[in-house]
Amino acid sequence: MSTLVSPKRLNEQVKRNLDRFPEDFMFQLNAEEKTEVVANCDHLAQLKYSPSLPYAFTEHGALMPGNVLKSSRAVEVSLLVVRAFVQIREMLSSHKDIAAKLDQMERKLSSHHQAIAGLIDAIRQLMAPPATARRGIGFTANIDSKPRNKK
């Protein structure tokens, strides 16, 4: 059976082991960030009334509480954190692949768009009436004109 660790106990252990939590592992939120976290995370509503500013752990720092806390639950959570970050990395990797493919398709469509626009312009030019009237093909009699005198 795993035991729960209170936030107070976690904070105590973090303060006792600050050498394990450098700036790139943990940082303290400012008042504005705390307000935003409370507004976005319903389960942290009690944090709103806390006089102290909470700490936030980075990917590497999230693994450290399992090292400073001796409970089985802390070890279990550390393993879950590692697995979660692995899944996040995999998702980001696949999203990068998808983004690259979308960029490639967009470039291809852009070149197709230019080619299609050129074809449409050419068709419009062919459909436009000629600038000067063309003379018909074949013999035409000019009935309105006067006969020419032959000498």
State the pLDDT at residue 8.
81
| pLDDT higher at 104 or 3 | 104
* Inter-residue contact 77 to 66 (CB < 8 Å): yes
Instruction: Mark out the alpha helices in 52-71 (DSSP H runs).
Output: 65-68
Q: What is the mean pLDDT of residues 72-80?
A: 81
Please, which pLDDT band fits residue 3 given cuts at 50, 70 and 90? low
pLDDT per residue as tens digits for the range 125-151: 887 776 776 667 777 666 666 666 655
Average pLDDT taken over every residue of the chain: 81
